[in-house]
Amino acid sequence: MSGRPRTTSFAEGNKPPANPQLGGMKISNALESSLKEEVKQSEPSAPYIGKDGSKVTTVVATPGAGPDRPQEIAYTDTKVIGNGSFGVVYQAKLCETNETVAIKKVLQDKRFKNRELQIMRRLEHCNIVKLKYFFYSSGDKKDEVYLNLVLEYIPETVYKVARHYSKSKQTIPISFIKLYMYQLFRSLAFIHSLGICHRDIKPQNLLLDPETGILKLCDFGSAKHLVKGEPNVSYICSRYYRAPELIFGAIDYTTKIDVWSAGCVLAELLLGQPIFPGDSGVDQLVEIIKVLGTPTRDQIREMNPNYTEFKFPQIKSHPWQKVFRARTPHEAMELVARLLEYTPSLRMTPLEACAHSFFKELREQGTRLPNGRELPPLFNFTDHELRIQPSLNSQLIPKYTQPSDGSQPAVAAADGANQASAAAQPGTQATSGTAESSDAQQSNPAGQANAAAQNADPSQSSMA
Protein backbone atom coordinates (compact mmCIF):
# COMPACT_ATOMS: atom_id res chain seq x y z
CA MET A 1 0.00 0.00 0.00
CA SER A 2 1.17 3.53 -0.68
CA GLY A 3 2.40 5.42 2.35
CA ARG A 4 0.68 8.67 1.41
CA PRO A 5 -2.70 9.59 2.93
CA ARG A 6 -5.54 8.17 0.94
CA THR A 7 -9.29 8.16 1.23
CA THR A 8 -11.79 6.27 -0.84
CA SER A 9 -13.47 9.41 -2.13
CA PHE A 10 -12.50 10.27 -5.67
CA ALA A 11 -10.10 13.15 -5.22
CA GLU A 12 -9.48 12.95 -8.96
CA GLY A 13 -12.90 13.37 -10.35
CA ASN A 14 -14.96 10.53 -8.97
CA LYS A 15 -17.87 12.86 -8.72
CA PRO A 16 -20.94 11.90 -10.73
CA PRO A 17 -21.50 14.04 -13.83
CA ALA A 18 -23.90 16.92 -13.42
CA ASN A 19 -27.34 16.17 -14.82
CA PRO A 20 -29.46 19.06 -16.15
CA GLN A 21 -32.55 17.52 -14.60
CA LEU A 22 -31.20 16.33 -11.28
CA GLY A 23 -28.14 18.49 -10.72
CA GLY A 24 -24.89 17.35 -9.11
CA MET A 25 -26.20 17.83 -5.57
CA LYS A 26 -29.26 15.66 -6.17
CA ILE A 27 -27.12 12.90 -7.67
CA SER A 28 -24.84 13.06 -4.63
CA ASN A 29 -27.86 12.82 -2.33
CA ALA A 30 -29.18 9.88 -4.33
CA LEU A 31 -25.83 8.08 -3.99
CA GLU A 32 -25.78 8.73 -0.25
CA SER A 33 -29.32 7.45 0.15
CA SER A 34 -28.53 4.33 -1.87
CA LEU A 35 -25.40 3.66 0.20
CA LYS A 36 -27.35 4.02 3.45
CA GLU A 37 -29.74 1.34 2.23
CA GLU A 38 -26.83 -0.96 1.29
CA VAL A 39 -25.27 -0.47 4.72
CA LYS A 40 -28.58 -1.32 6.37
CA GLN A 41 -28.87 -4.53 4.34
CA SER A 42 -25.28 -5.73 4.72
CA GLU A 43 -24.53 -4.59 8.29
CA PRO A 44 -22.68 -7.42 10.09
CA SER A 45 -24.84 -9.21 12.62
CA ALA A 46 -23.73 -9.50 16.23
CA PRO A 47 -20.97 -12.14 16.35
CA TYR A 48 -21.91 -15.49 17.83
CA ILE A 49 -19.83 -18.35 19.16
CA GLY A 50 -19.45 -21.31 16.79
CA LYS A 51 -19.35 -24.99 17.72
CA ASP A 52 -15.58 -24.89 18.01
CA GLY A 53 -15.72 -21.88 20.32
CA SER A 54 -14.62 -19.34 17.70
CA LYS A 55 -16.36 -16.02 17.11
CA VAL A 56 -18.41 -16.03 13.89
CA THR A 57 -19.55 -12.89 12.04
CA THR A 58 -22.35 -13.02 9.47
CA VAL A 59 -22.86 -10.37 6.77
CA VAL A 60 -24.86 -9.91 3.60
CA ALA A 61 -22.26 -9.48 0.85
CA THR A 62 -22.35 -8.95 -2.91
CA PRO A 63 -20.18 -11.19 -5.13
CA GLY A 64 -17.26 -9.35 -6.71
CA ALA A 65 -18.08 -10.66 -10.18
CA GLY A 66 -21.37 -11.26 -11.92
CA PRO A 67 -24.85 -9.95 -11.10
CA ASP A 68 -25.54 -8.03 -7.89
CA ARG A 69 -27.10 -10.85 -5.92
CA PRO A 70 -26.36 -10.28 -2.24
CA GLN A 71 -25.91 -13.41 -0.18
CA GLU A 72 -25.18 -14.21 3.42
CA ILE A 73 -21.61 -15.19 4.24
CA ALA A 74 -20.06 -16.03 7.59
CA TYR A 75 -16.42 -15.67 8.56
CA THR A 76 -14.33 -16.39 11.63
CA ASP A 77 -10.73 -16.37 12.93
CA THR A 78 -10.45 -12.64 12.23
CA LYS A 79 -7.14 -10.90 12.94
CA VAL A 80 -5.43 -7.70 11.79
CA ILE A 81 -2.58 -8.29 9.32
CA GLY A 82 -2.03 -4.74 8.05
CA ASN A 83 -3.06 -1.14 8.54
CA GLY A 84 -2.22 2.32 7.32
CA SER A 85 -3.72 5.56 6.06
CA PHE A 86 -5.89 3.53 3.66
CA GLY A 87 -7.59 1.57 6.46
CA VAL A 88 -7.17 -1.90 7.94
CA VAL A 89 -6.63 -5.36 6.42
CA TYR A 90 -7.87 -8.44 8.26
CA GLN A 91 -7.26 -12.12 7.69
CA ALA A 92 -10.32 -14.31 8.14
CA LYS A 93 -11.73 -17.72 7.24
CA LEU A 94 -14.98 -18.26 5.36
CA CYS A 95 -17.05 -20.74 7.36
CA GLU A 96 -18.72 -22.43 4.40
CA THR A 97 -15.53 -23.25 2.46
CA ASN A 98 -12.80 -22.93 5.14
CA GLU A 99 -11.05 -20.66 2.66
CA THR A 100 -8.71 -18.01 4.05
CA VAL A 101 -9.47 -14.49 2.81
CA ALA A 102 -8.21 -10.95 3.32
CA ILE A 103 -10.76 -8.26 4.20
CA LYS A 104 -9.68 -4.73 3.32
CA LYS A 105 -11.72 -2.18 5.27
CA VAL A 106 -11.61 1.42 4.04
CA LEU A 107 -13.54 4.54 4.96
CA GLN A 108 -16.14 5.29 2.30
CA ASP A 109 -17.11 8.82 1.30
CA LYS A 110 -20.87 8.49 0.99
CA ARG A 111 -21.08 11.17 -1.71
CA PHE A 112 -19.08 9.19 -4.25
CA LYS A 113 -18.75 5.71 -5.64
CA ASN A 114 -15.57 3.89 -4.71
CA ARG A 115 -13.12 3.79 -7.60
CA GLU A 116 -11.16 0.80 -6.28
CA LEU A 117 -14.35 -1.26 -6.06
CA GLN A 118 -15.52 -0.24 -9.53
CA ILE A 119 -12.16 -1.18 -11.05
CA MET A 120 -11.73 -4.46 -9.20
CA ARG A 121 -15.15 -5.67 -10.32
CA ARG A 122 -13.86 -5.44 -13.91
CA LEU A 123 -10.68 -7.41 -13.33
CA GLU A 124 -10.78 -11.15 -13.86
CA HIS A 125 -7.24 -12.38 -14.48
CA CYS A 126 -5.00 -15.13 -13.15
CA ASN A 127 -2.32 -12.59 -12.13
CA ILE A 128 -4.63 -10.14 -10.37
CA VAL A 129 -5.92 -10.67 -6.84
CA LYS A 130 -9.56 -11.74 -6.97
CA LEU A 131 -12.37 -9.74 -5.37
CA LYS A 132 -14.68 -12.38 -3.91
CA TYR A 133 -17.27 -10.22 -2.16
CA PHE A 134 -17.84 -6.73 -0.85
CA PHE A 135 -20.09 -5.32 1.85
CA TYR A 136 -20.59 -2.12 3.83
CA SER A 137 -20.51 -1.61 7.58
CA SER A 138 -21.06 1.26 9.99
CA GLY A 139 -18.25 2.96 11.87
CA ASP A 140 -18.03 4.09 15.48
CA LYS A 141 -18.91 7.67 14.56
CA LYS A 142 -22.34 8.76 13.41
CA ASP A 143 -22.94 8.35 9.66
CA GLU A 144 -19.49 6.76 9.24
CA VAL A 145 -19.51 4.05 6.55
CA TYR A 146 -16.82 1.52 5.66
CA LEU A 147 -16.41 -0.50 2.49
CA ASN A 148 -15.13 -4.03 3.06
CA LEU A 149 -13.43 -5.81 0.17
CA VAL A 150 -13.21 -9.58 0.63
CA LEU A 151 -10.16 -10.70 -1.35
CA GLU A 152 -8.39 -13.97 -1.93
CA TYR A 153 -5.59 -14.37 0.59
CA ILE A 154 -2.03 -14.85 -0.64
CA PRO A 155 0.63 -15.23 2.08
CA GLU A 156 3.73 -13.47 0.78
CA THR A 157 4.89 -10.49 -1.27
CA VAL A 158 7.84 -9.99 -3.58
CA TYR A 159 9.00 -7.33 -1.12
CA LYS A 160 9.25 -9.85 1.74
CA VAL A 161 11.04 -12.39 -0.45
CA ALA A 162 13.52 -9.78 -1.70
CA ARG A 163 14.17 -8.58 1.85
CA HIS A 164 14.83 -12.16 2.98
CA TYR A 165 17.55 -12.55 0.34
CA SER A 166 18.94 -9.08 1.01
CA LYS A 167 19.37 -9.80 4.72
CA SER A 168 21.48 -12.83 3.87
CA LYS A 169 23.57 -10.76 1.42
CA GLN A 170 22.14 -12.58 -1.59
CA THR A 171 20.03 -11.66 -4.60
CA ILE A 172 16.94 -13.53 -5.70
CA PRO A 173 17.79 -16.39 -8.09
CA ILE A 174 17.42 -15.22 -11.68
CA SER A 175 14.84 -17.93 -12.41
CA PHE A 176 12.54 -16.47 -9.75
CA ILE A 177 13.06 -12.95 -11.09
CA LYS A 178 12.00 -14.14 -14.54
CA LEU A 179 8.93 -15.87 -13.15
CA TYR A 180 7.80 -12.92 -11.02
CA MET A 181 8.40 -10.21 -13.61
CA TYR A 182 6.74 -12.14 -16.43
CA GLN A 183 3.55 -12.45 -14.41
CA LEU A 184 3.68 -8.77 -13.43
CA PHE A 185 3.96 -7.73 -17.08
CA ARG A 186 1.10 -10.03 -18.01
CA SER A 187 -1.14 -8.43 -15.37
CA LEU A 188 -0.16 -4.95 -16.59
CA ALA A 189 -0.90 -5.88 -20.20
CA PHE A 190 -4.39 -6.86 -19.14
CA ILE A 191 -5.28 -3.78 -17.09
CA HIS A 192 -3.70 -1.42 -19.63
CA SER A 193 -5.80 -3.00 -22.38
CA LEU A 194 -8.83 -1.82 -20.38
CA GLY A 195 -7.40 1.69 -20.07
CA ILE A 196 -6.65 1.19 -16.38
CA CYS A 197 -3.40 2.43 -14.85
CA HIS A 198 -2.38 0.93 -11.50
CA ARG A 199 -0.22 3.91 -10.43
CA ASP A 200 1.42 2.17 -7.48
CA ILE A 201 3.53 -0.69 -8.83
CA LYS A 202 6.08 -1.75 -6.21
CA PRO A 203 7.28 -5.02 -4.61
CA GLN A 204 4.88 -4.61 -1.68
CA ASN A 205 1.91 -4.80 -4.06
CA LEU A 206 3.00 -8.03 -5.73
CA LEU A 207 1.45 -10.93 -3.83
CA LEU A 208 3.25 -14.23 -4.04
CA ASP A 209 2.50 -17.86 -3.32
CA PRO A 210 5.98 -19.28 -2.62
CA GLU A 211 4.84 -22.87 -3.18
CA THR A 212 3.34 -22.44 -6.64
CA GLY A 213 5.29 -19.37 -7.79
CA ILE A 214 2.04 -17.60 -8.71
CA LEU A 215 2.20 -13.79 -8.56
CA LYS A 216 -0.85 -11.56 -8.29
CA LEU A 217 -1.04 -7.79 -8.51
CA CYS A 218 -2.97 -6.18 -5.65
CA ASP A 219 -3.97 -2.82 -4.14
CA PHE A 220 -5.94 -0.89 -6.72
CA GLY A 221 -6.53 1.98 -4.30
CA SER A 222 -4.54 4.35 -6.53
CA ALA A 223 -5.67 2.88 -9.85
CA LYS A 224 -7.56 4.97 -12.37
CA HIS A 225 -9.18 4.63 -15.76
CA LEU A 226 -7.09 7.20 -17.65
CA VAL A 227 -8.78 9.54 -20.08
CA LYS A 228 -6.84 11.19 -22.90
CA GLY A 229 -6.98 14.96 -22.58
CA GLU A 230 -8.14 14.99 -18.98
CA PRO A 231 -5.76 15.82 -16.10
CA ASN A 232 -4.53 13.41 -13.46
CA VAL A 233 -2.71 14.17 -10.22
CA SER A 234 1.05 13.95 -10.63
CA TYR A 235 1.76 13.10 -7.01
CA ILE A 236 0.96 9.45 -7.43
CA CYS A 237 2.98 6.25 -7.08
CA SER A 238 5.36 5.39 -4.25
CA ARG A 239 8.87 6.83 -4.02
CA TYR A 240 11.65 4.90 -5.77
CA TYR A 241 9.16 3.78 -8.44
CA ARG A 242 7.88 7.11 -9.78
CA ALA A 243 8.33 7.73 -13.49
CA PRO A 244 10.30 10.89 -14.37
CA GLU A 245 7.27 12.52 -16.00
CA LEU A 246 5.55 12.37 -12.60
CA ILE A 247 8.55 13.98 -10.93
CA PHE A 248 8.38 16.70 -13.60
CA GLY A 249 4.76 17.29 -12.60
CA ALA A 250 3.05 15.91 -15.71
CA ILE A 251 -0.72 15.59 -15.44
CA ASP A 252 -1.37 14.04 -18.86
CA TYR A 253 0.66 10.86 -18.36
CA THR A 254 -0.24 7.43 -19.72
CA THR A 255 -0.14 3.83 -18.53
CA LYS A 256 3.58 3.90 -19.36
CA ILE A 257 4.18 5.15 -15.80
CA ASP A 258 3.41 1.57 -14.71
CA VAL A 259 6.00 0.28 -17.18
CA TRP A 260 8.65 2.55 -15.63
CA SER A 261 7.71 1.32 -12.16
CA ALA A 262 7.96 -2.29 -13.33
CA GLY A 263 11.41 -1.52 -14.72
CA CYS A 264 12.41 -0.19 -11.30
CA VAL A 265 11.14 -3.39 -9.68
CA LEU A 266 13.13 -5.54 -12.12
CA ALA A 267 16.29 -3.50 -11.54
CA GLU A 268 15.80 -3.74 -7.77
CA LEU A 269 15.48 -7.52 -7.86
CA LEU A 270 18.67 -7.74 -9.93
CA LEU A 271 20.58 -5.31 -7.69
CA GLY A 272 19.22 -6.29 -4.30
CA GLN A 273 18.36 -2.64 -3.59
CA PRO A 274 16.28 0.16 -5.18
CA ILE A 275 17.89 1.55 -8.31
CA PHE A 276 16.65 5.13 -7.79
CA PRO A 277 16.51 5.75 -4.03
CA GLY A 278 15.64 9.14 -2.68
CA ASP A 279 13.48 10.75 -0.04
CA SER A 280 12.12 13.36 -2.42
CA GLY A 281 11.43 13.96 -6.07
CA VAL A 282 14.65 15.96 -6.25
CA ASP A 283 16.72 13.09 -4.90
CA GLN A 284 15.07 10.60 -7.22
CA LEU A 285 15.57 12.79 -10.27
CA VAL A 286 19.25 13.16 -9.41
CA GLU A 287 19.59 9.37 -9.10
CA ILE A 288 17.85 8.87 -12.44
CA ILE A 289 20.14 11.40 -14.16
CA LYS A 290 23.21 9.72 -12.66
CA VAL A 291 22.23 6.50 -14.44
CA LEU A 292 20.37 7.59 -17.59
CA GLY A 293 22.28 10.81 -18.12
CA THR A 294 20.79 14.25 -18.66
CA PRO A 295 17.51 14.15 -20.57
CA THR A 296 17.55 15.93 -23.92
CA ARG A 297 15.25 18.84 -24.68
CA ASP A 298 13.04 16.53 -26.73
CA GLN A 299 12.86 14.00 -23.89
CA ILE A 300 11.88 16.70 -21.41
CA ARG A 301 9.25 17.95 -23.84
CA GLU A 302 7.84 14.42 -24.08
CA MET A 303 7.65 14.20 -20.29
CA ASN A 304 6.30 17.69 -19.63
CA PRO A 305 6.38 20.56 -22.17
CA ASN A 306 6.39 23.14 -19.36
CA TYR A 307 9.96 22.28 -18.43
CA THR A 308 11.73 22.49 -21.78
CA GLU A 309 13.62 25.63 -20.76
CA PHE A 310 15.36 24.17 -17.75
CA LYS A 311 19.09 23.88 -18.26
CA PHE A 312 20.33 20.70 -16.64
CA PRO A 313 24.01 19.88 -16.13
CA GLN A 314 25.27 17.67 -18.92
CA ILE A 315 25.92 14.25 -17.43
CA LYS A 316 26.58 11.20 -19.57
CA SER A 317 24.62 8.01 -19.07
CA HIS A 318 26.18 5.31 -16.94
CA PRO A 319 26.71 1.98 -18.77
CA TRP A 320 24.22 -0.64 -17.60
CA GLN A 321 26.99 -3.21 -17.20
CA LYS A 322 28.51 -0.93 -14.55
CA VAL A 323 25.17 -0.37 -12.84
CA PHE A 324 24.55 -4.09 -12.35
CA ARG A 325 26.68 -6.91 -11.00
CA ALA A 326 29.12 -8.63 -13.33
CA ARG A 327 27.07 -11.82 -13.61
CA THR A 328 23.82 -10.09 -14.51
CA PRO A 329 22.49 -11.61 -17.77
CA HIS A 330 22.81 -9.38 -20.81
CA GLU A 331 19.13 -9.96 -21.65
CA ALA A 332 18.12 -8.67 -18.21
CA MET A 333 20.07 -5.43 -18.64
CA GLU A 334 18.70 -5.00 -22.14
CA LEU A 335 15.14 -5.36 -20.85
CA VAL A 336 15.74 -2.84 -18.06
CA ALA A 337 17.10 -0.38 -20.64
CA ARG A 338 13.95 -0.78 -22.75
CA LEU A 339 11.72 -0.11 -19.73
CA LEU A 340 13.60 2.79 -18.13
CA GLU A 341 13.38 5.24 -21.04
CA TYR A 342 12.86 8.94 -20.44
CA THR A 343 10.43 9.16 -23.36
CA PRO A 344 7.25 7.35 -22.25
CA SER A 345 6.26 6.31 -25.78
CA LEU A 346 9.61 4.55 -26.29
CA ARG A 347 9.15 2.28 -23.28
CA MET A 348 8.18 -1.28 -24.10
CA THR A 349 4.58 -2.29 -23.73
CA PRO A 350 3.97 -4.92 -21.03
CA LEU A 351 3.21 -7.58 -23.64
CA GLU A 352 6.39 -6.74 -25.56
CA ALA A 353 8.23 -7.23 -22.28
CA CYS A 354 6.61 -10.67 -21.87
CA ALA A 355 7.88 -11.61 -25.34
CA HIS A 356 11.44 -10.44 -24.55
CA SER A 357 14.28 -12.96 -24.73
CA PHE A 358 14.91 -12.54 -20.99
CA PHE A 359 11.88 -14.78 -20.46
CA LYS A 360 12.89 -17.37 -23.07
CA GLU A 361 13.65 -19.97 -20.39
CA LEU A 362 10.04 -19.85 -19.18
CA ARG A 363 8.87 -20.85 -22.67
CA GLU A 364 11.15 -23.88 -22.87
CA GLN A 365 9.51 -27.24 -22.39
CA GLY A 366 10.51 -28.96 -19.17
CA THR A 367 11.40 -25.79 -17.24
CA ARG A 368 10.47 -26.22 -13.58
CA LEU A 369 10.58 -24.26 -10.36
CA PRO A 370 13.75 -24.67 -8.25
CA ASN A 371 11.68 -26.78 -5.83
CA GLY A 372 10.96 -29.23 -8.66
CA ARG A 373 7.34 -28.24 -9.13
CA GLU A 374 5.88 -27.35 -12.50
CA LEU A 375 5.68 -23.70 -13.48
CA PRO A 376 2.37 -21.98 -12.74
CA PRO A 377 0.11 -21.31 -15.76
CA LEU A 378 1.95 -18.76 -17.90
CA PHE A 379 0.50 -19.29 -21.37
CA ASN A 380 -3.23 -19.70 -20.69
CA PHE A 381 -3.99 -16.52 -22.63
CA THR A 382 -7.63 -15.55 -23.00
CA ASP A 383 -9.08 -14.38 -26.30
CA HIS A 384 -8.96 -10.85 -24.91
CA GLU A 385 -5.24 -11.12 -24.18
CA LEU A 386 -4.53 -12.56 -27.63
CA ARG A 387 -6.19 -9.50 -29.20
CA ILE A 388 -4.04 -6.95 -27.35
CA GLN A 389 -1.04 -7.20 -29.70
CA PRO A 390 -1.74 -10.13 -32.06
CA SER A 391 1.63 -9.75 -33.79
CA LEU A 392 3.30 -10.97 -30.58
CA ASN A 393 1.23 -14.14 -30.17
CA SER A 394 3.67 -16.38 -32.03
CA GLN A 395 6.46 -15.23 -29.68
CA LEU A 396 4.37 -15.48 -26.52
CA ILE A 397 2.96 -18.97 -27.03
CA PRO A 398 5.53 -21.81 -26.91
CA LYS A 399 5.40 -24.15 -29.88
CA TYR A 400 4.90 -27.20 -27.68
CA THR A 401 1.62 -25.73 -26.37
CA GLN A 402 0.25 -24.98 -29.85
CA PRO A 403 -2.03 -27.33 -31.83
CA SER A 404 -0.18 -30.16 -33.61
CA ASP A 405 -1.01 -28.66 -37.02
CA GLY A 406 0.98 -25.55 -36.05
CA SER A 407 -2.00 -23.22 -36.19
CA GLN A 408 -2.41 -20.44 -33.68
CA PRO A 409 -5.01 -20.75 -30.91
CA ALA A 410 -8.37 -19.51 -32.06
CA VAL A 411 -9.21 -15.91 -31.33
CA ALA A 412 -12.81 -14.87 -30.81
CA ALA A 413 -14.76 -13.24 -33.63
CA ALA A 414 -14.96 -9.58 -34.47
CA ASP A 415 -17.70 -8.72 -32.00
CA GLY A 416 -15.26 -9.24 -29.14
CA ALA A 417 -12.43 -7.60 -31.03
CA ASN A 418 -14.35 -4.35 -31.26
CA GLN A 419 -14.44 -4.17 -27.48
CA ALA A 420 -10.67 -4.46 -27.17
CA SER A 421 -9.50 -2.60 -30.25
CA ALA A 422 -9.52 0.98 -28.99
CA ALA A 423 -8.29 0.15 -25.50
CA ALA A 424 -5.79 -2.45 -26.60
CA GLN A 425 -2.96 -0.04 -27.32
CA PRO A 426 -0.83 -0.45 -24.21
CA GLY A 427 0.60 2.85 -23.07
CA THR A 428 -2.34 4.84 -24.39
CA GLN A 429 -5.30 6.20 -22.53
CA ALA A 430 -8.95 5.34 -22.56
CA THR A 431 -11.76 7.42 -23.94
CA SER A 432 -14.07 8.19 -21.06
CA GLY A 433 -13.75 9.30 -17.46
CA THR A 434 -13.54 12.36 -15.25
CA ALA A 435 -11.06 15.13 -14.52
CA GLU A 436 -8.94 15.38 -11.43
CA SER A 437 -8.74 18.29 -9.04
CA SER A 438 -5.52 20.25 -9.34
CA ASP A 439 -5.01 20.82 -5.60
CA ALA A 440 -3.21 17.48 -5.26
CA GLN A 441 -0.68 18.24 -7.98
CA GLN A 442 2.90 18.13 -6.79
CA SER A 443 5.09 21.20 -7.11
CA ASN A 444 7.86 20.27 -9.48
CA PRO A 445 11.36 19.76 -8.11
CA ALA A 446 13.14 19.89 -11.46
CA GLY A 447 14.68 23.29 -10.80
CA GLN A 448 16.04 22.21 -7.43
CA ALA A 449 17.38 19.05 -9.00
CA ASN A 450 19.36 21.17 -11.45
CA ALA A 451 21.64 22.45 -8.70
CA ALA A 452 21.85 19.11 -6.93
CA ALA A 453 22.64 17.22 -10.11
CA GLN A 454 25.58 19.51 -10.92
CA ASN A 455 27.39 17.86 -8.04
CA ALA A 456 26.41 14.37 -9.14
CA ASP A 457 29.30 12.28 -10.36
CA PRO A 458 28.08 9.19 -12.21
CA SER A 459 31.09 7.21 -11.04
CA GLN A 460 29.82 7.65 -7.48
CA SER A 461 26.44 6.04 -8.20
CA SER A 462 25.38 3.64 -5.47
CA MET A 463 24.57 1.10 -8.20
CA ALA A 464 28.08 1.09 -9.70
CA distances from 185 to 136, 178, 426, 427 (A): 33, 11, 11, 13
DSSP letter assigned to residue 80: E
CA distances from 66 to 62, 74, 79, 127 (A): 9, 20, 29, 19
Instruction: Classify each residue of 133-168 as buried b or exposed e, where b means 16 or more C-beta atoms within 10 Å of its C-beta.
Output: bbbbbeeeeeeebbbbbbbbbbeebbbebbeeeeee
Position 354, amino acid: C
Q: Is 105 annotated as a binding residue?
A: yes
The H or E element spanning position 111 is: none
User: What is the SS3 assignment for 240?
Assistant: coil
CA-CA distance, 437 to 57, in Å (whole number)? Answer: 39
Look up 200 and say whether it is catalytic.
yes
CA distances from 306 to 201, 244, 295, 393 (A): 26, 14, 14, 39
Position 383, amino acid: D
DSSP per-residue codes, 211-229? TT--EEE---SS-EE-BTT
CA-CA distance, 328 to 322, in Å (whole number)? Answer: 10
Indicate which residue of 68, 109, 140, 200 is catalytic.
200
CA-CA distance, 92 to 58, in Å (whole number)? Answer: 12
**Nearest of 273, 263, 453 to residue 341 by alpha carbon:** 263
User: What is the SS3 assignment for 297?
Assistant: helix
Contacts of 406 (CB under 8 A, 6+ apart): none
User: Residue positions in the annotated binding site?
Assistant: 105
User: Residue positions in the annotated binding site for ATP?
Assistant: 105
Catalytic site residues? 200
